[in-house]
Chains A and B, each alone.
Chain A
């Protein structure tokens, strides 16, 4: 069978998301999607060029979500969702085992905001420390000041079985509307939080140490057009580099770059990473980063045609020339990852005119590598796989 492969019956989130795809230790492939566009569902392929099938579908979570983010640690997918029902914004946690193809934790309450954020400003993201602590960034309770609701970007952490929630990363009691967000793990389990302050439209950053100490919230860009989306990190020399794409004020994808992950880091911005304006869904750009060794791969959908484009940036290098990957499509969501499947692949799941599909771009075919110069495995390739 040829790619792309349709994932029948699946949907993708309407707001902030990362859906994979992921590769298990058993060499199977998974996407975290939505059953009929409502509740979380994990789809598996033993050969993704053939078909995907829903797993443990009778036991999937019941949360109906707007925003969903999945994060892989070994064979466990850690998933966070934010509810979609009117007036609700419940943030919940779930796990799925790719070893047994079964759900584990389901619908575990992280927080039910007492004053829910605007339903179009919900957003969640998740990452885990090396000790298993779960860190979730989310749009939390709003604060009412002078008869007006102002949005908060909060984080929650799970240590053991205990959740501490509602830590306001944007700052206490502000007449500003903050919207979550994207979290990327940096050096020494430091969590880098990126989110939007919608009034004004600033891209914000703050990081959390492994000892739960927050550094200073700063604006990385004062003229954004929307939200950050899935970023990556990798080790470069003695430093950990963090890069996150976001919708810039000119509606192109720009990238925040932290060359040395640390408290109060120096933050650079690479503007106009995409050559053209990108498609936007509810403030979230239709774009995604994936990590290929120390190369950052970008996939995005352009605003004019909704076709799929790619670009790449080497470690310390410049962004390249945009390449059209798919023509005559209508891509409104994209989520991508890099893994080895008969050679290194940029694998992606996307919504094409209402149909969810899986596809790949070959990065380096194993058979084409001269046997005398075959490179050793690169651990960083699996850092976020």
Chain B
């Protein structure tokens, strides 16, 4: 069993809590508006990830064909596309992601603004809402985020088709995005094996063992992940160090 159930919104909310007013600050008479796994807060993270991963793996646009496993709402795929990469596909089997990828964040962002004592319809609250919500849907990556796990020929066929690969052609890269930290060692090894069935190279973007890790995950050092799955490439969050 995975350590975390990413089908639940509560799991995402517990893992992600990000100050959303750091660019402007806020009066100290109220708390900062904080978002969870929301686009405005996460896009800078995903842009930094995309740039760091591309540099670490030597990708240059329009680049290789890339499948992102555990893509969430696809913001890293979106960031790669913004960098000029043209063959990027996100996958995520989370029912929370699949149920919400086509909707907006408006209701949730309104609630976050109300939580700090402001009205999203007027005054300061309205201004903040204007900065945090642009009216569009969560998932904007060109090829979307598919509900595919790559297990079985049919699933792999749909993935290849969505990415524009011919026949049994493999993607150049399979990249898991903060996936392995929620899996047992056996599950992580198995996930790697599945990825190798339709990806020539497999890499994993990993938050490593460090101060500030919440309990309940499979935290390891980059070295220990490499030891567990020597065939794959590992990239450390933040430093973009690669093994």
- A residues neighboring B (CB under 8 Å): 109-111, 114-115, 118, 140-152, 154-157, 162-168, 171-177, 199-200
* B25 x A148 contact (CB < 8 A): no
Q: How long is the Cα–Cα vector from A143 to B42 in the complex, in angstroms?
A: 11
Q: Which of B31, B32, B181 counts the most chain A CB atoms within 10 A?
A: B32
In B1-20, which residues have CB < 8 Å from any A CB?
14-19
- Residue from the list A111, A166, A174 in contact with B48, Cβ < 8 A: A174
Given the known interface contacts A163-B27, A164-B26, A174-B44, the answer about A148 and B210 at a Cβ–Cβ threshold of 8 Å is: yes
* A171 x B207 contact (CB < 8 A): no
* B23 x A172 contact (CB < 8 A): yes
A199 CB contacts on chain B under 8 angstroms: 210, 238-239
Given the known interface contacts A109-B28, A114-B32, A142-B212, the answer about A166 and B21 at a Cβ–Cβ threshold of 8 Å is: yes
CB closest chain-B residue, reference A109: B28
Residue B99 CB within 8 A of the other chain: no
User: Would you give the 0/1 interface string for B220-243, flagging 1 where the beta carbon is closer than 8 Å to chain A?
Assistant: 000000000000000001110000
* B26 x A165 contact (CB < 8 A): yes
A168 CB contacts on chain B under 8 angstroms: 19, 22-23
In B22-68, which residues have CB < 8 Å from any A CB?
22-28, 31-32, 34, 41-42, 44-45, 48-49
Q: How long is the Cα–Cα vector from A167 to B21 in the complex, in angstroms?
A: 7
* B25 x A147 contact (CB < 8 A): no
* A146 x B238 contact (CB < 8 A): no
A200 CB contacts on chain B under 8 angstroms: 238-239
Given the known interface contacts A168-B23, A171-B44, the answer about A146 and B212 at a Cβ–Cβ threshold of 8 Å is: no
- Residue from the list B16, B26, B211 in contact with A146, Cβ < 8 A: B16
- Residue from the list B23, B211, B216, B238 in contact with A176, Cβ < 8 A: B238
Q: A141-B19, A166-B22 are known contacts; what are 6 more A-B pairs with Cβ within 8 Å?
A: A111-B28, A145-B15, A146-B15, A147-B216, A148-B213, A165-B28
Residue B133 CB within 8 A of the other chain: no
Q: How long is the Cα–Cα vector from A141 to B238 in the complex, in angstroms?
A: 18
* A175 x B48 contact (CB < 8 A): yes
- B residues neighboring A (CB under 8 Å): 14-19, 21-28, 31-32, 34, 41-42, 44-45, 48-49, 178, 181, 207, 210-214, 216-217, 237-239
- Residue from the list A118, A145, A151, A165 in contact with B25, Cβ < 8 A: A165
CB closest chain-B residue, reference A162: B27
Q: List 26 A-B contacts (CB under 8 A).
A: A109-B28, A118-B211, A142-B212, A144-B214, A145-B16, A145-B18, A148-B210, A148-B212, A149-B212, A152-B19, A154-B25, A156-B25, A166-B22, A167-B23, A168-B22, A172-B41, A172-B44, A174-B45, A174-B238, A175-B48, A176-B238, A177-B212, A177-B238, A199-B238, A200-B238, A200-B239
A111 CB contacts on chain B under 8 angstroms: 28
B214 CB contacts on chain A under 8 angstroms: 144, 147-149
Q: How long is the Cα–Cα vector from A109 to B27 in the complex, in angstroms?
A: 11
B11 → chain A closest CB, angstroms: 9
A146 CB contacts on chain B under 8 angstroms: 15-16, 178, 181, 207, 237
B210 CB contacts on chain A under 8 angstroms: 148, 177, 199
* A148 x B207 contact (CB < 8 A): yes
B41 CB contacts on chain A under 8 angstroms: 172-173
Given the known interface contacts A146-B181, A147-B217, A174-B44, the answer about A167 and B32 at a Cβ–Cβ threshold of 8 Å is: no
* B239 x A143 contact (CB < 8 A): no
Q: How long is the Cα–Cα vector from A42 to B31 in the complex, in angstroms?
A: 32
A151 CB contacts on chain B under 8 angstroms: 212
A175 CB contacts on chain B under 8 angstroms: 45, 48-49, 207, 237-238
* A167 x B25 contact (CB < 8 A): yes
CB closest chain-B residue, reference A142: B212
- Residue from the list B31, B42, B217 in contact with A173, Cβ < 8 A: B42
* B27 x A144 contact (CB < 8 A): no
CB closest chain-B residue, reference A110: B28
Q: Which of A143, A164, A200 counts the most chain B CB atoms within 10 A?
A: A143
CB closest chain-A residue, reference B27: A164
CB closest chain-B residue, reference A214: B23
* B25 x A173 contact (CB < 8 A): no
* A165 x B16 contact (CB < 8 A): no
B243 → chain A closest CB, angstroms: 15
B23 CB contacts on chain A under 8 angstroms: 167-168, 172
Q: How long is the Cα–Cα vector from A168 to B24 in the complex, in angstroms?
A: 8
Q: Which of A151, A199, A200 counts the most chain B CB atoms within 10 A?
A: A199
* A154 x B28 contact (CB < 8 A): no
